Structure 1
Amino acid sequence: MDAKSPKEMQRAGSKMMLAARMVGPGQVDLVERPMPVPGPAQVRIALEGCGVCASNLGPWAGPDWMEFPTESGAPGHEGWGHIDALGSDVTGLKVGERVAFLGQHSYATFDLADARHVVRLPPELDGLPFPGEALGCAMNILARSGIKPGMRVAIIGIGFLGAALTRLAANEGAEVIAIARRDLSLALARQMGAAHTIALEDHWETIEEVRALTEDTLCEVVIEAAGAQWPLDLAGDLVGTHGRLVIAGYHQDGPRQVNMQNWNWRGIDVINAHERDPATCVAGMERAVKAVVARKLDIAPLVTHRFALDHLGAALDATRDKPDGFVKAWVACR
C-alpha cells in the first residue's frame, strides 16, 4: 500500500485514516482504514498525540497468549486531540475543542470516544503533549493512597508514574523517600520534590536506610510503582505497623508471591490502585488538568521523547530500553 501521510490525507479531504498496529513481536505497521463514524453518544477526535504506556510492552514482546495483528490503533489509550465530529445525541461539546479522552485505538490519526469520557483541555495547555489517561491514573493513585501532611511515604520505581506521584505526595505535605535504580530517576525525584533518595541496589541495605530516615518506624505509606517482584517484596518490607501498601505498578509478566506473614504481622492495608470504572478515570483526568494548570504538577520533565506515528516501534523500544534522559514517550499522530 502506498499510504499517504496524515497531513497529505487532511489536505486532500480524504475519508480515510491511518492507524498503527502490532503485527508480531517487536513489529508494527501502518494501515489505511475508512474514517470512523461516531455513534449517537460518541465524538470523533482528530488525534494530536498519544502517550506510550509501559503496559504495551507485554503485547510488544509477543507472549504466547498474544494474537497478531492487533486491532488498528490498539493498544494506544493515552490520546488527546481536537473534536472533529459529534454524534447526534451529544450535547455540551463542540467541534474544534481540544480534549483528552479514554480510548483504546489512539495510535492513529482519528479515534472515537464516548462523549462522557472526554475532558476539555484549556488554553493554558495549548502546545503541550497531554497524555490525560496516564495523568489521571496518577491522580487516582494519590486519592487511594490516603496521604496526609507529615507522613513518610516511600515510592519505589521513579518512572513517569513514580515521578508524578513524588510531586503529588510532596504537595500533600509528605516526606517522600524515592527509591530507584537509575541516577537519572533519582535526580528526577529530587526535582519533583523528594526529601530523600535511595539507590535501589541491595534489599536489606535499602531497608536499613529507610529505618535510619524514619527512626526505625518505617513508612506510613509505601507506593510500589515498578511492576516487578523484587520491588513488591521491598515495598512490603518498608511499610510500618498499620501502614498502607499501595500497588501502582502494572504487573503483567506472571503471578506474584507475597510475604503474607509479614503483611499479617504488621496489620497493613493493601490497596490495588488501578481504577477500572470509566467515571473514576475521567474524574482523575479532570483533576490532572486542574493540577497542571495550577502548576502543582509540571509535566515537561515527564514526557520526554517524541516519535512520529510511523515510528511507534521505536517508541515502544525506547519505553522498554530507557535510553539516556528517557521518562515517557509519545507519538505525534499528525
Structure 2
Amino acid sequence: MGTAIRVHAHGGPEVLTVEDVPTPLPTAGEIRVRHTAIGVNFIDTYFRTGLYKPPALPFIPGNEGAGIVEALGEGVTGLRVGERVAYVGTLGSYGAERVLPAQSVVRIPDGIDDDTAAAMMLKGMTAQYLLRRTFAAKPGDTILFHAAAGGVGLILCQWAKHLGCTVIGTVGSQDKAELARENGCDHVILYREEDFAARVKEITGGAGCAVVYDGIGKATFPASLDCLRPFGTFVSFGNASGPVPPFDLALLSQKGSLFATRPTLFTHIAKREDLEAIASDLFEVVRSGVVRIPVHARAKLADAADVHRALEGRETTGATVLHP
C-alpha cells in the first residue's frame, strides 16, 4: 500500500483526495518506481476538470516524476534496481509508488538532482519539441512566447536566447516580467495592461514574429495570429484559458498565408529513439548550464489541492514539485 491522490469525479481542486492504494507488481516489460519527486503541470488540471478525458474514473493524476527503480518485470533489460530514473507518460504520478512501462523512463544523469528531473521532463521536453522540432528556431528569428514566466516559458526562453533568437514574452504582472527578463526575454509585454499584438508590431517595426508559441488558448486567439510575419507559424500547445474555438482556415490566408499546428509531446516521444533524443538534448543544455530549471515551489503530495488552486489562480512561476 502507498499514499496517492485519486479523482473519483471531475471538478475543482477539492476532488483531489488522499487515499491509500495498493501498488501492483510489475508485469512483463514494466518496472516499479518509488517516487522521490513528482512534477506538477497545468495539464494535470485539464484531466481533473474533465477537459481532457482520463481512461476511466477514478484515476490518479500526474504525468511526470522521478525516483528509484524498486522492481523489474519479466524481460526488462538495460535497467537495474536502485537506479535513478525520470519519466513523462501515462497518468498516475501523484503517488508514492507506481508501475509503468520500462520503455517510458530515462536514466537521470549525474549532476541533475531528482527535483530538477521531475520538474523538467514534461516542461523541458515540451520546450525542446516546440523549439527544436515543431518550429526549429534559428539565430535571428524573433519569437513570441505567451506566459513566459510559467514552467515551459522560463525554460524555452532561456534556450531560445542561447540559440540567438530575439525573445518576446507575455506575462501577467511586474514580478513575472522581471523573472522573464532574467530568463532570456529581450522584451516583456504585460498582457493585462497592453494590447500584446500592437506591442509586438511596435517591437518588431511592423515585421512580426517568425513563430508564436501559445499555451494560453482561447484568451490569446486570434490575436496571436496578428503577431506573425507572412508565412509565420502559430503553435498552439495548451489551453490554460480554455481551448481555441473552431475557426475558418481562410483566416490563415487572410493574415499572411500562415501555418498553424497543434502538437503534443506524446506524439513526439511515441518512439523510443525520439524520447531518448529529446531527453538527451534537454539533459545536455541543463548540465551545461545553458538552461536553468527553476523549481520555485515544493509541497507535500497531500497538499495537491492547494497546489492546483495556486496553479489555476496564476500564482505560480517556474515549476512546482510534490514530495510523497
Q: Structure 2: how far apart are the matches of 1:258 and 1:138?
A: 26
Q: Structure 2: how far apart are the matches of 1:135 and 1:29?
A: 28
Out of 256, 264, 272, which is 2:245 matched to?
256
Q: Structure 2: how far apart are the matches of 1:322 and 1:181?
A: 8
Out of 24, 42, 48, which is 1:36 matched to?
24
* Higher mean C-alpha displacement, 97-106 vs 251-260: 251-260
Q: Structure 2: how far apart are the matches of 1:177 and 1:35?
A: 45
Residue 224 of structure 2 is matched in structure 1 by 235
* C-alpha spacing 1:126/1:253, structure 2 compared with 1 (3 Å): closer
2:73 matches 1:87:
yes
Residue 219 of structure 1 is matched in structure 2 by 209
Code of the residue aligned with 2:236 in structure 1: it is I
- Mind listing any 5+ residue stretches in structure 2 that lack a counterpart? none
Q: Structure 2: how far apart are the matches of 1:127 and 1:243?
A: 38
User: Number of aligned pairs?
Assistant: 311
Q: In the TM superposition, what is the alpha-carbon distance from 1:32 to its structure 2 partner? A: 2.0
* Higher mean C-alpha displacement, 272-281 vs 82-91: 272-281
Q: In the TM superposition, what is the alpha-carbon distance from 1:40 to its structure 2 partner? A: 1.6
The answer to whether the Cα contact below 8 Å between 1:162 and 1:225 also exists between their aligned partners in 2 is: no
Measured against aligned partners, the alpha-carbon deviations of 1:1-50 in whole angstroms (never above 9, x if no partner) come to xxxxxxxxxxxxxxx22211124432222222223211121111111121
Measured against aligned partners, the alpha-carbon deviations of 1:44-76 in whole angstroms (never above 9, x if no partner) come to 1111121111122234446798899522xx221
* C-alpha spacing 1:175/1:289, structure 2 compared with 1 (3 Å): same
Residue 316 of structure 1 is matched in structure 2 by 308
* C-alpha spacing 1:150/1:62, structure 2 compared with 1 (3 Å): closer
Code of the residue aligned with 2:159 in structure 1: it is L
Say what the alpha-carbon RMSD is for the aligned residues: 2.4
Out of 275, 282, 294, which is 1:288 matched to?
282
The answer to whether the Cα contact below 8 Å between 2:37 and 2:114 also exists between their aligned partners in 1 is: no
The answer to whether the Cα contact below 8 Å between 1:319 and 1:328 also exists between their aligned partners in 2 is: no
Out of 33, 36, 50, which is 1:45 matched to?
33
Out of 199, 214, 223, which is 2:190 matched to?
199
Code of the residue aligned with 1:150 in structure 2: it is G
Residue 154 of structure 1 is matched in structure 2 by 144
Written as runs of structure 1 = structure 2, the 5 A alignment for 1:271-310 is 271-277=261-267, 278-279=270-271, 280-299=274-293, 301=294, 303-310=295-302
* Higher mean C-alpha displacement, 38-47 vs 158-167: 158-167
2:164 matches 1:173:
yes
Out of 128, 141, 157, which is 2:130 matched to?
141
* Higher mean C-alpha displacement, 97-106 vs 254-263: 254-263
Residue 129 of structure 1 is matched in structure 2 by 116
Residue 106 of structure 2 is matched in structure 1 by 119
* C-alpha spacing 1:224/1:308, structure 2 compared with 1 (3 Å): same
TM-score normalized with structure 1 length: 0.85
Q: Structure 2: how far apart are the matches of 1:114 and 1:286?
A: 19
2:85 matches 1:99:
yes
Q: Structure 2: how far apart are the matches of 1:170 and 1:235?
A: 21
Residue 2 of structure 2 is matched in structure 1 by 17
SS class of match (1:185): helix
Q: Structure 2: how far apart are the matches of 1:125 and 1:83?
A: 17
* Identity percentage of aligned residues: 23
Code of the residue aligned with 2:223 in structure 1: it is L
Residue 163 of structure 1 is matched in structure 2 by 154
* C-alpha spacing 1:271/1:66, structure 2 compared with 1 (3 Å): closer
The answer to whether the Cα contact below 8 Å between 1:80 and 1:99 also exists between their aligned partners in 2 is: yes
Larger radius of gyration: 1
Q: In the TM superposition, what is the alpha-carbon distance from 1:202 to its structure 2 partner? A: 5.9
Code of the residue aligned with 2:46 in structure 1: it is G
